[in-house]
Amino acid sequence: MPEQYHDNTRPLTTAAGAPVPDNENAVTAGPRGPMLLQDVWFLEKLAHFSREVIPERRMHAKGSGAFGTFTVTRDITRYSRAALFSEVGKQTEMFARFSTVAGERGAADAERDIRGFALRFYTEEGNWDVVGNNTPVFFHRDPHHFPALNRAVKRDPRTNLRSPENNWDFWTNLPEALHQVTIVMSDRGIPDGYRHMHGFGSHTYSFINAEDERFWVKFHFRTQQGIKNLTDAEAAKLVAGDRESAQRDLFDAIERDEFPKWTFFIQVMPEADAKDYRFHPFDLTKVWSKKDYPLIEVGEFELNRNPENYFADVEQAAFTPSNMVPGVGPSPDRMLQGRLFSYGDAARYRVGVNHHQIPVNYPRGATNVNTYHRDGQMRVDGNQGGVPGYTPNSYDRFSDQPAYHEPALALEGAADRYEYREDDVNYFEQPGDLFRQMSPEQQSALFANTARAIDGASEATIERHLNHCAQADPAYGQGVRRAIEAHKAGALGDDDRISELV
């Protein structure tokens, strides 16, 4: 039991600091009479209570977080001038939040779904957030599709149930989704807790070095605990007994001083290569071949401290891909560009315009935090005192920092709404490659998981999916078809290793 539970030296007060004489008995007119409105402590208590819930994240609502430490193990200063990478051995404080995507705040952890993998590095040049997932790709490649994705995977507006038809109708109308769908339906679709999965920045970002050279870069975080997954049957059993299995696993491991660790790698593409790489280098539905751009080690991070208070640190955490530091920048990936807006906007709605002041969000490692932002609800940090709130001014306060100017990025073409599909219709090669890399057991699990998940979708939707699978690899299409038939006949069972389906 934590020490503070036993602390009986601290008296109870109202929020205004006045002593509370009695926290159990309402003020009434006589021992059996009605309550009096002057029981102001009661009024305060109930009024606070009904305002305690803040909006949940629109997606990734269910999550777990922990603090930790990032340590540089290799010199990558030739790629990035970011201060956190400046020398081998350098350590930076971190916060991480893992999550499921579609479920609400009270959903079970062991669901077949992508996992969020959000990292914050409290660097001396400000917070750097890598707001990634446990998969290197995503369902779509234009941010216009994002609100729809969430409506398709969340509850049906009429039944308030999850709907296989909504889900698969949407996915199969975006053929580029097959790569991500294949990963979610694979044996990796239900990680056994958050410690046993890799993380990915997923998008292409940019690195800029001290010579002002730009590189395109992808981030990979490989678990040192080893990959562990659950089958559908194992997950169903687990959820029946424990809806918080991933939260419990992470929290308990850190309490036991078994600190989970991940190794941080990058893939680096010289700026000029992007022009004619064989895949669109900024397409979030594609990966870069590791043969073309091998993994380069950067460092490792460990999670070594549980938050003292879940709401304070985990619920109020507001990550955003727009939190970047000098030496790290965005790429033309239009999904990333869309996200640069969305998260700060969500934080201002969910937590408030001054969410930066909340300790988990405050750039606690930064040497300087001086903005001209003023006022707004819940401004509690002195509001930059008497410093003038305007620029230009004659006092040289909060001056620009031209040393951090990024090199110019050449852009071309007329502004228009360009259809991605006219640029690249190569939807199926990478999911096909992934399928062919799987062992027969993994392929069999993919077939069976798909058959169970798509059950309930319309024939037309199922046929559309089968058609896409077959285009990725005829054996993929055939395997899913046979698994669906077996499932309909009640012959699929719980065992994913149904070798005759391979």
By annotation, the residues acting in catalysis are 60, 133
Nearer to ligand HEM, 317 or 469 (CB): 317
Residues 46-75 that bind ligand HEM (CB under 6 A): 57-60, 63
- Provide DSSP, 268-331: EEEGGGGGG-SS-TT-TT----TTTS--EEEEEEEEEE--S-HIIIIIS----TT---TTEE--
Q: Which is nearer to ligand HEM, 129 or 249 (CB)?
A: 129
Q: How far is the CB of 53 from ligand HEM (least distance, A)?
A: 14
Would you say 236 or 346 has its CB closer to ligand HEM?
Answer: 346
Residue of 197, 207, 213, 225 whose CA lies nearest to 84: 207
Closest CB to ligand HEM belongs to which residue? Answer: 116
Q: Is 202 in the site for ligand HEM (CB under 6 A)?
A: yes
Residue 343 within binding range of ligand HEM, rule CB under 6 A: yes
CB 130 within 8 A of CB 119: yes
Q: Per CB under 6 A, which region of 7-15, 85-93, 342-350, 459-467 contacts ligand HEM?
A: 342-350
Strand partners, 214: 208
In DSSP terms, 302 is beta-bridged to 69, 261
* CB-CB contact of 235 with 190 (8 Å): yes
Inter-residue contact 178 to 454 (CB < 8 Å): no
231 vs 323 by CB, closer to ligand HEM: 323
Nearest alpha-carbon partner for 152 in 174, 184, 182: 174
Based on its alpha-carbon atoms, the radius of gyration of the chain, rounded to whole angstroms, reads 26
What is the size of the binding site for ligand HEM (CB under 6 A)?
Answer: 27
Least Cβ distance, residue 83 to ligand HEM (angstroms): 24
Q: Which residue, 300 or 315, has its beta carbon nearer to ligand HEM?
A: 315
CA-nearest of 201, 200, 202, 209 to 76 is 209
* Position 318 contacts ligand HEM (CB under 6 A): yes
CB of 418 to ligand HEM, least distance (A): 17
Query: 136 and 97 in contact (C-beta within 8 Å)?
Result: no
Nearest to 360 by CA among 67, 3, 134, 5: 67
Q: Specify the amino acid at residue 83.
A: A
Q: Which two tokens stand for residue 349?
A: 């709605």
- Stretch of 44-52, 256-264, 265-273, 338-346 lying at the interface with ligand HEM (CB under 6 A): 338-346
Query: In the complex with ligand HEM, which residue's Cβ is closer, 96 or 208?
Result: 96
Which of 90, 222, 350, 497 touches ligand HEM by CB under 6 A?
350
Peptide bond into 392 cis (omega under 30): yes
How far, rounded to the nearest angstrom, does the alpha carbon of residue 353 sit from its chain's CA centroid?
A: 21
Least CB distance to ligand HEM at residue 396 (A): 36
Choice between 338 and 456, CB closer to ligand HEM = 338
Q: How far is the CB of 491 from ligand HEM (least distance, A)?
A: 37
Q: Could you tell me which stretch among 241-249, 295-303, 337-345, 461-469 binds ligand HEM (CB under 6 A)? A: 337-345
Task: Indicate whether 317 belongs to the interface with ligand HEM (CB under 6 A).
Answer: yes
Q: Tokens 């559908």 belong to which residue?
A: 232
Q: Which residues contact 371 (CB under 8 A, 6 or more apart)?
A: 384, 398
Q: What is the DSSP letter of 16?
A: T
454: which 2 tokens? 């798509």
Q: Is 339 in the site for ligand HEM (CB under 6 A)?
A: yes
Task: Candidates 64, 123, 133, 163: give the one binding ligand HEM (CB under 6 A).
Answer: 133
Give 180 or 449: the residue with its C-beta nearer to ligand HEM. Answer: 180
Contact in structure between 190 and 232 (CB atoms under 8 Å): yes
Nearest distance from residue 224's CB to ligand HEM, in Å?
Answer: 21
Backbone angles phi, psi at 104, to 5 degrees: -80, 180
User: Considering only residues 68, 103, 126, 143, which one is a binding residue for ligand HEM as defined by CB under 6 A?
Assistant: 143
Q: Which span (344-352, 400-408, 456-464, 484-492) binds ligand HEM, by CB under 6 A?
A: 344-352
Query: Dihedral angle at the C-alpha atoms of 266, 268, 271, 273, nearest 10 degrees?
Result: -140
* Residues 97-116 close enough to bind ligand HEM by CB under 6 A: 97, 99, 116
Least separation, in Å, of the C-beta of 104 and ligand HEM?
13
Return residues touching ligand HEM (CB under 6 A). Answer: 57-60, 63, 97, 99, 116, 118, 131-133, 138, 143, 146, 202, 317-319, 335, 338-339, 342-343, 346-347, 350
